[in-house]
Amino acid sequence: MQGKKLSYFFQELRTLIAAVQLDPLLEKVRVTIFKEEVRTGVVRTEVFRVHPSTFEEAVDMALNTKFNVGAACFRIHGRVQRSFDGVEHMEFSPAEEEEVELQDVEH
Protein backbone atom coordinates (compact mmCIF):
# COMPACT_ATOMS: atom_id res chain seq x y z
CA MET A 1 0.00 0.00 0.00
CA GLN A 2 3.02 2.24 0.09
CA GLY A 3 2.33 5.48 -1.76
CA LYS A 4 -1.42 4.87 -2.09
CA LYS A 5 -4.16 6.71 -0.27
CA LEU A 6 -5.91 4.70 2.44
CA SER A 7 -9.33 5.06 0.81
CA TYR A 8 -7.94 3.88 -2.55
CA PHE A 9 -6.51 0.81 -0.82
CA PHE A 10 -9.87 -0.03 0.81
CA GLN A 11 -11.68 0.26 -2.50
CA GLU A 12 -9.06 -1.88 -4.23
CA LEU A 13 -9.49 -4.63 -1.64
CA ARG A 14 -13.28 -4.44 -1.86
CA THR A 15 -13.03 -4.85 -5.64
CA LEU A 16 -10.76 -7.87 -5.27
CA ILE A 17 -13.10 -9.46 -2.73
CA ALA A 18 -16.09 -8.93 -5.03
CA ALA A 19 -14.16 -10.45 -7.94
CA VAL A 20 -13.56 -13.76 -6.16
CA GLN A 21 -17.19 -14.63 -5.43
CA LEU A 22 -16.70 -18.18 -6.75
CA ASP A 23 -13.94 -18.83 -4.22
CA PRO A 24 -14.51 -16.30 -1.45
CA LEU A 25 -11.75 -15.54 1.00
CA LEU A 26 -12.39 -16.38 4.59
CA GLU A 27 -13.11 -13.28 6.66
CA LYS A 28 -10.03 -13.92 8.83
CA VAL A 29 -7.86 -14.01 5.71
CA ARG A 30 -9.31 -10.70 4.49
CA VAL A 31 -8.64 -9.04 7.84
CA THR A 32 -5.11 -10.48 7.95
CA ILE A 33 -4.32 -9.22 4.44
CA PHE A 34 -5.70 -5.82 5.35
CA LYS A 35 -3.69 -5.64 8.59
CA GLU A 36 -0.47 -6.63 6.85
CA GLU A 37 -0.87 -4.04 4.09
CA VAL A 38 -1.79 -1.00 6.17
CA ARG A 39 1.33 1.14 6.53
CA THR A 40 0.03 4.24 8.29
CA GLY A 41 1.54 4.17 11.80
CA VAL A 42 -1.40 5.14 14.02
CA VAL A 43 -3.96 3.32 11.86
CA ARG A 44 -1.85 0.17 11.80
CA THR A 45 -1.35 0.29 15.56
CA GLU A 46 -5.08 0.70 16.18
CA VAL A 47 -6.05 -2.15 13.83
CA PHE A 48 -3.57 -4.50 15.53
CA ARG A 49 -4.63 -3.33 19.01
CA VAL A 50 -8.37 -3.90 18.56
CA HIS A 51 -8.34 -7.07 16.41
CA PRO A 52 -11.38 -6.43 14.19
CA SER A 53 -13.33 -9.58 13.32
CA THR A 54 -14.50 -8.52 9.85
CA PHE A 55 -12.93 -6.72 6.92
CA GLU A 56 -15.59 -3.99 7.00
CA GLU A 57 -15.01 -3.48 10.73
CA ALA A 58 -11.28 -3.09 10.04
CA VAL A 59 -11.96 -0.55 7.27
CA ASP A 60 -14.36 1.46 9.46
CA MET A 61 -11.86 1.43 12.31
CA ALA A 62 -9.02 2.57 10.05
CA LEU A 63 -11.07 5.39 8.54
CA ASN A 64 -12.27 6.57 11.97
CA THR A 65 -8.74 6.47 13.35
CA LYS A 66 -7.39 8.43 10.40
CA PHE A 67 -10.15 11.02 10.80
CA ASN A 68 -9.59 11.33 14.56
CA VAL A 69 -5.84 11.76 14.13
CA GLY A 70 -6.42 14.42 11.49
CA ALA A 71 -8.90 16.23 13.72
CA ALA A 72 -6.52 16.08 16.68
CA CYS A 73 -3.67 17.49 14.58
CA PHE A 74 -5.92 20.32 13.42
CA ARG A 75 -6.88 21.17 17.02
CA ILE A 76 -3.20 21.28 17.99
CA HIS A 77 -1.78 23.07 14.95
CA GLY A 78 -4.85 24.59 13.34
CA ARG A 79 -5.38 27.64 15.53
CA VAL A 80 -5.63 30.92 13.71
CA GLN A 81 -2.80 33.33 14.34
CA ARG A 82 -4.37 36.58 15.52
CA SER A 83 -1.37 38.83 15.14
CA PHE A 84 1.26 38.72 12.44
CA ASP A 85 3.56 41.28 14.06
CA GLY A 86 4.58 38.90 16.84
CA VAL A 87 2.78 40.94 19.52
CA GLU A 88 0.08 39.18 21.49
CA HIS A 89 -2.65 41.64 22.36
CA MET A 90 -4.03 41.09 25.84
CA GLU A 91 -7.69 41.34 26.69
CA PHE A 92 -8.65 42.82 30.05
CA SER A 93 -11.80 42.30 32.02
CA PRO A 94 -13.68 45.52 33.01
CA ALA A 95 -12.36 45.24 36.60
CA GLU A 96 -8.76 45.02 35.41
CA GLU A 97 -9.31 48.00 33.09
CA GLU A 98 -10.56 50.10 36.03
CA GLU A 99 -7.50 49.11 38.07
CA VAL A 100 -5.16 50.11 35.23
CA GLU A 101 -6.97 53.47 34.87
CA LEU A 102 -6.69 54.11 38.63
CA GLN A 103 -2.97 53.33 38.56
CA ASP A 104 -2.51 55.75 35.66
CA VAL A 105 -4.34 58.52 37.59
CA GLU A 106 -2.22 57.97 40.71
CA HIS A 107 1.06 58.34 38.78
The whole domain housing 72 covers 6-80
**Given a cut of 70, is residue 77 above it in pLDDT?**
no
Q: Quick check: is 93 in a domain?
A: no
Taking the alpha carbons at both ends of the chain, their separation in whole angstroms is: 70
Rounded distance, CA 88 to CA 71, Å?
A: 26
Q: Which residues are CB-neighbours of 33 under 8 A, at least 6 positions away?
A: 13, 25
pLDDT, mean of residues 65-89? 61
Kindly report whether the global pTM for this prediction surpasses the value 0.85: no
**Given a cut of 50, is residue 81 above it in pLDDT?**
no
Radius of gyration of the chain (CA): 26
Q: Quick check: is 24 in a domain?
A: yes
Q: Quick check: is 100 in a domain?
A: no
